Amino acid sequence: MKNIGIAINPSKDKDNKILHMVIQKFREKFNFKDIAVFSSFDIENQDLKGIDLLVVLGGDGTLLGIARSLNDSFNAPILGINIGNLGFLSSIEISDIDNALDKLEEKKYKIVNRMMLNCKVESNGNHEELNALNDAVLARGTLSRMVKFKIFVDGKIYTTFKGDGLIIATPAGSTAYSFSAGGPFVYPDLELITITPICPHSRSMHTIVLKGDSIIEICADHEDEIVYLTVDGQKAIKVNHETSIKVSKNKKSVKLLLFDDYDYFKVLRSKVLNNSKECDGEEF
């Protein structure tokens, strides 16, 4: 890897101390002269041509936002370094950077693909497409009543139910909102899609696991209610009564650099299953 870029979330490193430290360590280890630095807030407008490795400094939110913003021509792997809170999607913690650079030099790593979702939204002749690495969530507004959802899979109706919403998730997103709503963990190397209801008011809707190339269409009966489509918990659009929403596997995927000793189950235990003290109010 001859050319690396560093994408930094400025809100996580306001004085640039972490950024400067990471740049210095990369230069000392690999003798890099020029290291391109990008803001995660404006990554879609940056020229990433020639980048062999994109180092992302931030948390899960930073990595999610960058993954959605990268154009189809970008084909380099991402090395996520967590300087945020959870960091489930990151390859390493910032405290492990020295060890990580040693492994990078020794080529003790692998490149894995993580599937993404494509959401096509059509309403009154208008067309919009959204990408998602974790999930696409269709849910009612805060003060509105339950919404009636009708779900089709590959042109065949799956079910109709009333509830607060539903979550369509990738394996990467199975540990996020989908998990909170009762969805299953899905091993990240698989290409599957899960649909999980949010507070269903009937027993006709259960979580279902679908093949990765399934096409999911959702019709929401909410003429007098407010409904939003949100991708990765970050970008939301208001959905009106005539809106058609189709969710399918994205033609592009995200490449992540993981080191040979990466242990998914260890990360799952430490970041999700055993990460309960803060939620229980024992730590602040």
Q: What is the pLDDT of residues 196-233, one digit of tens each?
A: 999 998 888 899 999 999 999 998 887 777 889 999 99
Instruction: Indicate the residue type of 59.
Output: G
Cα–Cα distance between 38 and 31 in angstroms, integer?
20
Are the CB atoms for 97 and 57 separated by under 8 Å? no
Q: Looking at residue 277, what is its pLDDT?
A: 46
Binding annotation: 60-61, 134-135, 145, 162, 164, 172, 175-180, 234
Binding residue numbers for NAD(+): 60-61, 134-135, 145, 162, 164, 172, 175-180, 234
Query: Which residues are tagged catalytic?
Result: 60
Residue 19 CA to residue 9 CA, distance in Å, equals: 10
Burial of 126 (0-12, 13-18, 19+ CB in 10 A): exposed
What pLDDT does 119 receive?
A: 97
pLDDT tops 50 at residue 152? yes
Report the pLDDT averaged over residues 137-165: 89
Would you place residue 281 in the very low, low, confident or very high pLDDT band (cuts 50, 70, 90)?
A: very low
Q: How confident is the model over 53-80, as pLDDT tens digits?
A: 999 999 999 999 999 999 888 899 999 9
276 pLDDT above the threshold of 60 = no
Least confidently predicted of 177-186, 190-199, 231-240:
231-240
Half-sphere exposure of 267 (CA within 13 A, CB side): 19
Mean pLDDT, the chain, rounded, equals 90
What's the whole-number mean pLDDT along residues 31-47? 86
Distances (CA, A) of 244 to 68, 119, 198, 216, 260: 21, 10, 20, 11, 43
8 A C-beta contact, residue 195 and residue 210 = yes
Q: Check: pTM over 0.85? Answer yes or no.
A: yes
**What's the CA gap between 96 and 267, in Å, rounded?**
14
- Residue 43: enclosing H or E segment and its boundaries? none
Say whether pLDDT at 282 is over 60. Answer: no
Instruction: Summarize pLDDT for 132-143 with one digit per residue, the tens.
Output: 999 999 998 776
